[in-house]
C-alpha cells in the first residue's frame, strides 16, 4: 500500500570501495552569523564514511522514479551513472549504482539552529499577518485538494503536515523566487518559485513547497540519524556534507542543492540564505530551543488503533511519517476486508491514546497528547487516510479507544484503504523503531529491516511481519 506520497523504499548498501587519492575540495567559509545569547549546543563533529558510494539491488515492483525519490536523486542521474538506455527495462536482482564517491565537501558553517527547521516549540507564537508582504505571495491563491487556499494558508499547511519550519520555507521562497517582495516575478519564477524544475508537473506554490519540505526533512533526518552524507546538484555533481554541520543546516543544504545548476550556484544560494533570513526574521538563533528531545523523554503509552476483539493486518513497517524522505515514523494497518481497494472501510480506527484533535482535514487527523493547544510541542499522533464521513472533528477531546474515523484512501497517495499512524515530539518525527522511544502499541514493539515498509512487530516470543498480503497469517492478530 502506497502511503503519503511515499515511494517503495530502496534499502541501499554502502560499498566497501577503496579510498581514492583524489583530494576533497572544501568550499570557502560562509559569512559568520551574529549569534544571540541563546546559542544551541555545538553539534558533534562526525566521522565521514570511508566511501559515499551506494548501490541498490532492484526488487520486484521497483521503478527508477521510485528509487530516485527514495534516495533524493534523479532518474537522469541514475541513467547516466549506470549507463542505462531504457529506463523501463529494470530487472529484478539488477545492481544499480545510486551514488558515486564525492569529490567536494560542502561548507561547514552552521546557518540556523535545529529548532528552526522543524515545526516545533520555536513556532508557538509565529503568525503570518495579512499584508505583511508586498510580493506575489500576498495576493496568491491556489486550489489544494478541492479547497482554495491563500499563500499563507499553503505555507502553514505544508509546515504542519511535513513538520518543517514556516520561517525557513518563506526564506527559501524569497531567496529562490522573490515572492515576498516582488509582485511580478518572472514567468519562470512564478511557475517554479523554489526553482525545482526537474519535474515539469510539480509547478505552483503548493507543489514546490512540498518538494522543499521533503528535501528539508531528507537533509535534517539524514544528518540527525547519521544516514546521509551526500547531496547532488542538477549537473550531477556529488557533494559530501561537512562533518561540522548540525541537522538544521544539513536540511537547508539539501533543500538548496535541488534546483542548483552546479556547485558554484549552490554555494551562492547558501551564502545568500543568512542574509535573506535576517532581512525577514532577524537572528535565527533567537529562536533556539535546545534540546528538542530532552534526555529524560519517555515515549507515551499507546494502544493498538482499532477496537478490541477485532483483527487487523500489519501491512507496513517503519516508513516516512509524511512524504517520501525523512524519519521512518509511521506504521500501516488494514482491516480484514479483502479486496476492498479504495472503498471506505466499514470499520473504525480508534484513538491510541487520550488527547485533543487539533487538525481534521482531507484524510488527516493530528492530535496532541499534552493539551496545550499547539501542534509543535509535546507528543503528537498523526492518523492518515481517514474518510471524510465519520472523521473526528477538530477540537474534539478523545479518550483511548474513541472512534477516529474509517480507513480509506483519502489524503496523500494510496492504492488501498488503510490506516497510517505516526508520532513526533516537539516537531521531530520519531522513528517507529527508535530503540529509545519505540512506538510500542499494546506491548508490540516495531523493528525495521532497513527497507521502508518492511519490518516486524514483536511482543515477547510473538512476531508479526509486515506484508501486503491476505494469505500469510503472521501479520494479523486480534486486539485482545
Chain segment 407-465, per-residue pLDDT in tens? 999 987 788 999 999 999 999 999 999 999 999 999 999 999 988 999 999 999 999 99
Residues 381-410: tens digit of each pLDDT: 999 999 999 999 999 999 999 999 999 999
Q: Which of 7, 337, 358 is closest to 160 using CA atoms? A: 358
Locate 81 and state its grid cell.
551513472
pLDDT at 50: 60
Q: In this structure, what DSSP letter does residue 444 have?
A: B
Q: What is the pTM of this model?
A: 0.84
* Cell numbers standing for residue 109: 558553517
Domain ranges in the chain are: 13-287, 311-478
Tell me which residue of 54, 97, 78, 323 sits closest to 198, measured CA to CA. 78
Q: What is the pLDDT of residue 10?
A: 31
Please name which of 428, 449, 466 lies closest in space to residue 10, comparing C-alpha atoms: 449
Nearest to 336 by CA among 363, 362, 309: 309
Top CATH class, 311-478: mainly beta
Distance of alpha carbon 240 from alpha carbon 219, whole angstroms: 12
The SS3 call for residue 160 is helix
With a cut of 70, list the residues of the chain below it in pLDDT: 1-42, 44-45, 47-53, 70-72, 99-101, 130, 471-480
Amino acid at each position: 500500500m502506497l502511503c503519503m506520497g511515499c515511494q517503495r523504499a530502496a534499502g541501499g548498501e554502502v560499498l566497501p570501495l577503496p579510498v581514492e587519492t583524489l583530494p576533497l575540495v572544501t568550499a570557502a567559509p560562509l559569512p559568520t552569523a551574529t549569534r544571540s545569547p541563546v546559542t544551541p549546543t555545538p553539534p558533534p563533529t562526525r566521522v565521514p564514511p570511508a566511501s559515499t558510494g551506494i548501490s541498490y539491488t532492484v526488487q520486484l515492483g521497483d521503478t527508477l522514479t521510485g528509487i530516485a525519490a527514495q534516495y533524493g536523486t534523479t532518474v537522469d542521474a541514475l541513467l547516466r551513472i549506470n549507463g542505462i538506455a531504457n529506463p523501463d527495462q529494470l530487472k529484478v536482482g539488477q545492481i544499480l549504482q545510486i551514488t558515486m564517491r564525492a569529490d567536494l565537501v560542502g561548507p561547514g558553517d552552521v546557518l540556523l539552529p535545529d529548532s528552526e527547521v522543524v515545526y516545533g516549540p520555536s513556532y508557538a507564537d509565529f503568525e503570518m499577518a495579512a499584508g505583511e508582504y508586498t510580493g506575489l505571495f500576498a495576493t496568491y491563491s491556489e486550489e489544494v485538494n478541492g479547497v482554495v487556499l491563500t499563500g499563507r494558508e499553503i505555507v502553514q499547511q505544508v509546515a504542519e503536515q511535513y513538520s518543517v519550519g514556516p520561517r525557513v520555507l518563506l526564506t527559501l521562497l524569497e531567496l529562490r523566487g522573490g515572492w515576498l517582495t516582488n509582485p511580478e516575478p518572472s514567468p519562470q519564477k512564478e511557475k517554479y518559485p523554489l526553482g525545482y524544475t526537474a519535474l515539469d508537473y510539480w509547478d505552483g506554490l503548493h507543489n514546490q513547497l512540498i518538494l522543499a519540505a521533503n528535501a528539508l526533512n531528507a537533509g535534517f533526518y539524514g544528518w540527525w540519524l547519521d544516514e546521509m552524507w551526500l547531496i547532488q546538484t542538477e549537473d550531477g555533481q556529488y557533494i559530501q556534507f561537512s562533518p561540522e554541520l548540525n541537522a538544521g543546516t544539513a536540511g537547508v543544504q539539501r533543500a538548496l542543492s535541488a534546483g542548483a545548476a552546479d556547485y558554484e550556484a549552490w554555494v551562492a544560494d547558501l551564502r545568500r540564505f543568512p542574509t535573506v533570513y535576517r532581512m525577514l526574521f532577524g537572528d535565527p538563533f533567537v529562536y533556539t530551543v535546545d534540546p528538542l528531545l530532552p534526555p529524560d523523554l519517555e515515549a507515551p503509552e499507546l494502544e493498538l488503533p482499532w477496537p478490541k476483539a477485532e483483527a487487523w493486518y500489519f501491512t507496513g513497517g517503519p516508513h516516512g511519517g509524511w512524504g517520501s524522505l525523512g524519519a521512518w515514523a509511521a506504521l500501516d494497518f488494514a482491516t480484514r476486508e479483502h479486496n476492498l481497494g479504495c472503498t471506505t472501510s466499514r470499520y473504525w480506527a480508534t484513538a491510541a491514546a487520550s488527547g485533543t484533535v487539533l487538525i481534521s482535514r482531507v484524510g488527516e487527523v493530528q492530535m496532541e497528547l499534552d493539551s496545550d493547544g499547539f501542534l509543535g510541542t509535546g507528543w503528537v499522533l498523526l492518523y492518515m487516510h481517514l474518510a471524510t464521513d465519520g472523521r473526528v472533528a477538530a477540537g474534539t477531546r478523545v479518550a483511548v479507544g474513541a472512534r477516529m474515523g474509517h480507513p480509506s484512501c483519502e489524503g496523500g497517495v494510496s492504492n488501498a484503504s488503510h490506516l497510517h499512524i505516526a508520532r513526533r515530539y516537539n516537531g521531530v518525527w520519531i522513528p517507529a523503531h527508535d530503540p529509545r522511544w519505540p512506538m510500542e502499541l499494546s506491548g508490540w514493539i516495531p523493528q525495521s529491516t532497513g527497507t521502508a515498509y518492511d519490518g516486524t512487530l514483536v511482543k515477547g516470543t510473538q512476531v508479526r511481519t509486515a506484508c501486503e498480503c491476505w494469505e500469510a497469517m503472521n501479520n494479523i492478530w486480534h486486539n485482545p
